[in-house]
Structure formats: structure tokens, C-alpha cells
Structure 1
Amino acid sequence: MKLLDGRIWTLFKLHWQHTLTYWSVFFSFGLCIAFLGPTILDLRCQTQSTLQQITWVFFSQQFFLLVGSSLGGLFKKTLLCSLSALLCCTLLISLVFAIIPLCNNVVLLSIAMAVAGKSMGVIDTIANRQLVKLYQKDSATFLQALHFFIGLGALVSPLVADPFLAEDSCVLGSNSSSSSDLEHLRSSMAGHGAAPHNISQYPLHTEGVVITRVAYAFWIMALINLPVPAAVLALMSHERLLPCSSKSPCLLEKDSLAGSNPSGDSDEGHGSLFGCCTPAKLKGHSFTFFILHVLGGAILFITDGIIGSYAGFIYTYAVSPPLLMGHKTAGCLDSIFWAAITLGRLAFIYLSYKYTAPRLLTFSLVGVILVQCLLMIFYTSCVFLFIGTCVLGLCISSVFPSMLAFTEDILDYKGCATTILVTCASTGEMMLQLLVGSVIHSRGSYAFLLCCTIASFIGFGLFLLFLYVEHVHRNSYAGKEQMDTYKDIEWNCNYNRH
């Protein structure tokens, strides 16, 4: 059997330049999201700040990623403005990589990470939305590939940084910390966006001569990222969108929400985050239309929150009782988890072509629950923790792209589903990490598994409710279409009679 049938391959050949461009900007997203954890101790030396101060850059990046995801919905649905936004954001990411070595205090570094986070959020929303708009009912396969490139970028970034990381204290003239302490701290802070909650026991000095080579890593990543804005620029040139016309404003004016789309697609509600959920927009839709947005966002809030929490705290759990793994061994768990997610998204490119989104989502969410329960049962087994981490990454990898494609298909690509789902996912990734971290700090490391398992059950329960509401929505929509058809026939009969 061929990997892709003629229809999918024909669609790809028709839109290959757009598709490869959106995939490349997600590589840029992944490249940016993964570098902070491994390099944070060298950045602490560069800024001569304490560990408590430097962890604020995690919050800065995550918070403004959420802001950027919301702002992505403010861009008008013209190809010109979407590509212009992607061009600016990918250029900003390269610029941030280039200037990070010049940030000599933690405030400047936090501002740079805020700019990067905002750019990442805008990329997240626009690339997902444009790909869904491009392929519509066939978007599931291409969305799986899109999210594979996040994982690819997240794998490349630490590999680039690793040769330039300090093995000992990078501040001379002070009592150096042992290399094992530095390795432990770096692994603790390597989760994507997670910061350790008990770092005061590792007093790293801030005064002295700073010796670090991490600047070379950032400059290399800036160069690696430069082909991405070049690809966006090439696409704009191919579509004859250069230069940007002042007659096509990229941000919606308040009175332009009802403006028509040049392509003829229905874009109602895309102008703002909750534009399609206002009373004026809901007049033409049933109440289930609104509920589907809420449930879809809640499911991704939970599942992306699980991903962020697991990546952020699996190392802390592994080095704590009863497992008490070595620092180096436990440090591999986060990399294995993200490698499994990347591999899973690659596999689901094919599976999303063969099976429907509801089947894939059911399989994935049930798999996540089973793995979490088994991890709780075999909580003393180091071997099973590695196996469970790998299987969990494979199972949860496809939830976001499958849920996005399924929700947009149910809602007939009419509204702001993409913006809402992306924003809810970013919110969950940030908020659940804070919640789980607080529980671990007060209740111990085992609470980490308990929190993730409870969240898995909640996510599956919300998905079952989503399927029920989807069934009601389809029935009501079909009934409305039949009623409209009946009214048209009745009007024609009356017209002909007169």
C-alpha cells in the first residue's frame, strides 16, 4: 500500500511551497523553545545573577508565548498579513539568538525571552491556522507533520548548545561548585519551561570573572534559523506579495470584522481570540457550537499541561526517593520523552491518513491513562520509568494536531477554533506546571505521578463529553438544513401557485 494516496499527494504538490514554509517556521519554534533549559546556568554566569533571579526568564518566555498565541488571532486572514507576521517573528527569533550573548543582566535577558516567546506564540497560531485553512478536511496528516518539526527543532537546539556548556563553575574567583552539582542543576532546569522549586541549597556565586563560551551556541542557532525567514520571504515573492501594500492593514480594525475574504472562505470570528463566541456571532449557530470550542480548549489545556509537567518534573521525580537515580541517568529521561513525542508525530503522519481523528484521539487518550496508571503501580522500577516515559510520549504526541483538525472539521472551518485551541494549550502548559510544581514542593515527588494521572482521567472524560456534544451538534445542524430545505420548497410552491 502506498504511504499516501493520489489525493493527498496531489494536494501537497499543489501547495508544497506553502506547506514546507509553515513546517519550517515550526522548526524555528522548536529550536527556540528547547535551548533555555540546558543553557540557563551559563546565562546565569553571563548575567551574574542568582538562580532565583535567572528562573524568571522561564516565566517571561512562557507568559509571552501565551500572549503571542492570543495575538496571533488578531491578524487578518489574508495571506499577505499572515506571511508578513511570520516573516517578522522568525527574523526576531534569529535576532534574539544573536543578542542573548550581549544581555549582561537578567532584566535584559528576560526582555529578550519575552520577545522570543511572543514571536513563538504568533507562529504557533498562524502556522496552525493557515495549514488548516489550506487543506481543511485533509489537514490532519499535514498538521501531524507540522508538529513533528517542533520536536525536530527541540532536538537540534540542545545538541548545538551542548559542546559550549561550562563543565565547572563559569565564575572564577569564587569557591567553585562541583561538576556533579552543576550537572544536577542543569538537568533540573532542562524541562521545557519548568523551573526547579528547591534551588536555594545550591549557592552559586555571582561575583568574579565570567568565563563562558555559550555565546557561540546562540550565534550558531541564529545562523541555523536564518533560512526560515528566507523561506517565508521566498513564498511572499512567489505569491507576488512584495512589497506590502498600505491598503491591506494586517490588523483588523474594529469595524472590519464583517469584511469579506478574498478567497471566498468563511473567516467569521477569526479577528480576535473569542470573536466567534460573541452573542452576535452565535446567533447563526446552536449553543453546541460554543460548547465545542470550550471543550476542545479544555482537552488541550489538560494534555499540553501534562506534556509540560512531565517534561519539567520527570527528572526531579527520578532523583528523589524511592528511585534515587543517578543524575546522569535521570537526565536522559527528558530527552527520551521529547524524542518519543517527535517519533510519535512522525508515525501519526501515516496513521492520521489511515484512521479518523476520533479513533486516534481515543487510542491516544486511553493509552495515556494506561501508561500513567502503570507508572503509579510500578513506581519503584527504574526500568519501567524509562519504558513508560517512551510510551507516554508516543501516545500523547498526536493529541494536539488531531484535536485541532477534528474540531475545525466539526465546526466546518467557520470560526476562531484554531486560535482558541492554541491559546488554551499554551495556558495549560504554563499553569499545570505551576500547579504540579507546587504540589510536589508540599506533598513530595510521588504527587507528580498522581497529578498527571488525575489530569489524564479528566482529559478523557472531557473528550467523551466532546463526542456527545459533537453528536448533538451534527444532528441539530442536519435538522436545520432539512428545515431550510423544506422552507425553500414551500416558498417555491407558494410562488408557483400565485
Structure 2
Amino acid sequence: MTLWDERVCALFRSQWRKTVTYWSVFFSFGLCIAFLGPTILDLRCQTHSTLQQITWVFFSQQLFLLVGSSVGGIFKRTLRLSLLALFTSTLTISLVFFLIPLCYDVPMLSIALAIAGLAMGVIDTVANLQLVKLYQKDSAIFLQALHSFIGLGALVSPLVADPFLADDSCIMAANATEANSSVNLEHIRSSLAGPGAALTNVSGYPLHTKGVADTQVSYAFWTMALINLPVPIAVLFLLSHERLLPCSRTSPRLLEQSPVAEPEQAHVGVFRCLDKLRARPPSFFLLQIVGGAILFITDGIIGSYAGFVYTYAVSPPLLMTHKTAGYLDSIFWAAITLSRLAFIYLSYRYPAPKLITLSLIGVVLIHGLLMIFYTSQIFLFIGTTVLGLCISSVFPSMLAFTEDALEYKGCATTVLVTSASSGEMLMQLLVGSVIQDHGSYSFMLCCTIASFTGFCLFLLFLYVRHRHKNVQDPSTDCTKDMDMKEIPVPAAGS
């Protein structure tokens, strides 16, 4: 028995250039996700700002990532528009990495990271949309691989930055040595892992803001700019191969082997679909709303856990050492990446409802056990690993499952991606404020309540999907033909 049947292999062989390109752009996404936490103290020195001031750049990046996710859907009309959006976004990320060392105050740095966040949001929506349209009922397999590239980028970014980070205070000020010698910089870096953590864990650290900045973090950003540069080049090659570059207009496009809607026709199709939405049953919209709510919660749990597990571990009753607790975040992201690689095969062997159900049950159970064994340091490491293994596949599986329920009309992807981005930002802020008011134990309680709510919402999703299958009208399918036109038919013998 082979791991993959010939049909899936043939699909991949016919679309491998597009698929690998979409995977690579998520590497850029991962690079941007992970670099701020490790470099935030050096950026504070570069901008001569306080921790309270510099940590707002987290919020700037996350806010515009949400905006980019929301507007990314407008680029789905044609393949050319989607690829141009990906090329512009990935090239923008390299440019932002190059320009960050030239930002000497917080407003300039916030603008640079807002631009990077906008590019990340566009990448998130467009790459997911294109893979769903490309593979449709087989998209779950390739979406799992797509999201594993986030973990790869998130792994590379801190490794590149680490050799260039300051070992002590990087602002040389008079009488500053004694004041800063008692500050554990590794503890501060581990505490500031995300927007929620950054905005709630910045008190009590006496770091100087006046003096000469002595940091080499610029080399880290310039290195990341070069590492990311092959990604926009890969998108450019795909544009050239598909003859979609402006200079290729005189040549027949490869996509003309099968009919492709021109932009004007695509606009007509979109407006025709908007008119048809009035005839959709309520279950059509309810599926998108409930699916979005599930991803709001599950991606919110991922962001909150990564942002606050360190703070939870070093607080009573666990009281881990700073160095030991610092491994938790790395273990969590490693488990997520490995699990997504494993789910590439599992998504092929088992249906999405079964995988999502087992994943959400696992998330609920592990949070419950973490609350019961809240004094055990060993179980926190075990629970963190199992949680990463369970929750990692929910987003790609839920995205493919929702589009399947809507017969791949392309309607749900933008909603789900935007909902996930919203949850990752807003739940961190919510959980951070609860921890600040009620103590570190409330962190695990919040995650447990959220995971149970997510599981209940998935049961509701299954019920709505069942009702939708009974009432849906095939005559309302107005985008299926448009989406199929995006898939070139391989010539015989190719």
C-alpha cells in the first residue's frame, strides 16, 4: 500500500510550481511572526524608548495583519492578480527587514511593522485561497503542508537573530551599569512573546533610555532580508512561467489552454454572485460565522498560550527558573510544526470532521489536566507538547472542511483567515488583562473555558452543516465555474 494514491500525486505533479510557491510565501509569514520577541530589547535601544513605548509595535503589526487578512480577498479574482499580490507582499517583507535598522524612533518603527503586518495578512488570505481553489476536496493535505512552513520560518528567525542580540544593556549611559546589572534580559525577552504579553508584562523593569546605543541587531535584520529574498523571486518566476507578467502580454498565456475570465468578466461574475447571495439559505452564512468563531478561539488559544506560558511557569505555585521556563515556548511551537507535518498524511487518510473532533477533544482534555496538575512542572512540559500536537491542525482542517461544506465557492476563506487573525490578537489582550487582574492561575482557566467553547461551537457547526446539506440549492452555485477556470488542464503527455 502506497502512502498516496496516483490521483493525488498526479494533482501535485500538474500543479507543483504553484503549490511550492504558495508554500514558500508562508515561510516569509513565519519569519515575520517570530522576530519581534527576541529582538524587542535591542529595538528598544535603537529607538531609545521605554518598554511601554516599544511594545506597542507588536500591536501595530497585529492590527495591520488583521487589515491585510480582511482585504486580501479582493486579489482572488484572477491568478495574475493573486500572484502580483504575493510578489509585492513578499518583496515588501524583505524591504521592511532592510529598513528596520534605519528606524530610530518608535513611530517610524511602528509604520514599518504596520506595512509588514499588511503584507503578512495579504499572504495569509491569498495563499490559503489559491490552494483551496487549486485542490478543492484534496486541499486539506496541502493546507497542512502550507501551515507547516510558518513553523519553519518561525524557527529560522530567532536562530538568525540570536548571535546579534545584546548580552547586557545596549544603552551605554553614565551610572547605568550597576542599575542594569540586576536586570535579567532573558527573562524580559521571554516575557514579551506577543502583543498581549508585551502590553501587560512591561512594568518593573528599570532600563535606561538615554545614552549611546550599542547593538548589532541590524545585521540580523539584513540577514533575514537576504534569506527572504528568494521567495519573491520564486513568485516572479511563477508569474513568468504562466506568462502573466506585463512584458509577456504579446505571447499567448499558458492559461489560455483552458478558458480564463478576463478581469471585466471576473467583475461581472463577482457582482452576479453578490446578487445571488440574497437567495442563499441562512445556513450558508451561519456556517461561515460559526467556523470563524471556532478559529477565533483556537488561534486565540495558540497566541495566548505562546504569549503567557512563560509568565505562568515562573509565577507561583510552579516558580520555574527563568532558563527552564524559557524552553516551554520553543517546545510548543516545535510540537505545532511537527504535528502539521504529520497531519499531511493524516488528512489524506481520515476525514476532516474526525480529525477536528479528536483535536478539539484533546485540547479540552489537556487543558483540564493542566488545571488539575497545576503544581507539576513536569506535567506542564508534557501538557505543552500535547497541546501543540492537538491544536496545530485545526486551522487548515477547518478551512478545508468549511469550504467543502460550501462546495468550494471561495466564500469562507477570507472570513476564516480574518477571524483567526482577530482571535490571535484580541484573545491575547483579553487573557493578558485577566492575568493582570486575577493572577497567573486565571491564564489556564481562560484557556480551558475557551477550548470547551470551541468544541461546543464545532458540534453546532456539524449540526448546521447537516441542515445546510438538506436545504442547499445547486442552482445558486455561481462561482464554481469561475473557480474551476483557475485550474489549468494539463496537456496530454505533459
Please give the TM-score of this superposition, normalised by the length of structure 1.
0.89
Aligned AA for 1:187? S
Say whether the 8 Å CA contact 1:269–1:281 is kept in structure 2.
no
Q: Distance in 1 between matches of 2:113 and 2:474?
A: 50
Instruction: State the match for 2:491 in structure 1.
Output: none
Number of residue-to-residue matches in the alignment: 464
Counterpart-to-counterpart distance in 2, 1:182 and 1:373: 33
| Alignment equivalent of 1:359, drawn from 314, 335, 354 | 354
Please point out which of 236, 239, 250 is paired with 2:239: 236
Q: 2-side partners of 1:157 and 1:327: how far apart?
A: 22
Take 1:424 and 1:77, find their aligned partners in 2: how far apart are those partners? 21
Quote the Cα distance in structure 2 between the aligned partners of 1:463 and 1:194.
28
> In the alignment, what sits opposite 2:333?
338
**Quick one: which of 386, 396, 400 aligns to 2:395?**
400
Deviation at 1:415, TM superposition (A): 3.9
> Which letter maps to 1:219?
W
What is the match of residue 169 of structure 1? 169
- Matched with 1:86 is 86
Q: Deviations over 1:195-239 (max 9, x none)?
A: 151422111001111100111110000000000000000000000
Cα shift at 1:282 = 2.6
* Whole-angstrom CA distance in 2 between matches of 1:100 and 1:67: 21
Shift of 1:245: 8.9
Cα deviation 1:392-444 (Å, max 9, x = unaligned): 00000000000000000110111420000000000011110010000000000
What is the letter of the counterpart of residue 11 of structure 2? L
Per the TM alignment, residue 191 of structure 1 is displaced from its structure 2 partner at its CA by: 3.9
Match runs of 1:403-422 below 5 Å: 403-422=398-417
Which residue does the alignment assign to 1:426? 421
1:199 aligns to what SS in structure 2? coil
Aligned-partner Cα distance in 1 for 2:447–2:100: 34
Deviation at 1:76, TM superposition (A): 4.2
Counterpart mapping for 1:42-441 below 5 A: 42-174=42-174, 175-176=176-177, 177-178=180-181, 181-191=184-194, 194-243=197-246, 262=261, 280-441=275-436
Aligned AA (1:202):
Y
Conservation of the 8 A alpha-carbon contact between 2:360 and 2:390: yes
Segment drifting more, 191-200 vs 304-313: 191-200
CA gap 1:267/1:356 in 2 versus in 1, 3 angstroms = farther
Letter of the 2:261 partner, please give it.
P
CA distance in 1, matches of 2:73, 2:388: 29
Matched, 1:472 2:467: yes
Aligned to 1:14: 14
Deviation for aligned residue 1:288: 0.5
What SS does the aligned partner of 1:469 have? helix
Q: Is the Cα contact below 8 Å between 1:34 and 1:192 reproduced in 2?
A: no
In structure 1, C-alpha distance between the alignment counterparts of 2:404 and 2:182, rounded to whole Å: 52
Question: C-alpha separation between the residues in 2 aligned to 1:52 and 1:193?
Answer: 12
Name the CA distance, whole Å, in 2 between partners of 1:232 and 1:76: 16
The alignment yields a C-alpha RMSD, in angstroms, of 2.3
> Is residue 367–residue 448 contact of structure 2 (8 Å, CA) maintained in 1?
yes
Q: Deviations over 1:108-147 (max 9, x none)?
A: 0000000000000000000000000000011010000000
Partner residue of 1:450? Answer: 445
Deviation at residue 3 of structure 1 after TM alignment: 2.0
CA gap of 1:50–1:352, structure 2 versus 1, over 3 A, is: same
Deviations 1:326-348 (A, max 9, x none): 11111111111111100010000
Q: What is the Cα deviation at residue 155 of structure 1?
A: 0.7
What is aligned with 2:478?
none
Distance 2:129 2:336 in 1: 22
Extract unaligned runs of 5+ from structure 2.
250-258, 476-494
The answer as to whether partners of 1:65 and 1:118 remain within 8 angstroms in 2 is: yes
Unpaired runs of at least 5, structure 1: 247-259, 483-498
SS of the residue 1:430 aligns to: helix
User: Residue type matched to 1:226 in 2?
Assistant: L
Contact 1:194–1:433 (Cα < 8 Å) also in 2: yes
C-alpha distance in 2, partners of 1:155/1:340?
A: 12
Partners of 2:262 and 2:138 in 1: how far apart? 18
Deviation at 1:193, TM superposition (A): 6.6
Percentage of pairs with the same residue: 72
Instruction: Give the Cα separation in 2 of the matches to 1:368 and 1:139.
Output: 24
Give distance in 2, aligned partners of 1:75 and 1:49: 38
Runs of 4+ in 1 over 3 A off after TM superposition: 191-194, 266-272
CA apart distance, 1:269: 11
Cα distance change of structure 1 residues 47 and 357 upon mapping to structure 2, 3 Å threshold: same
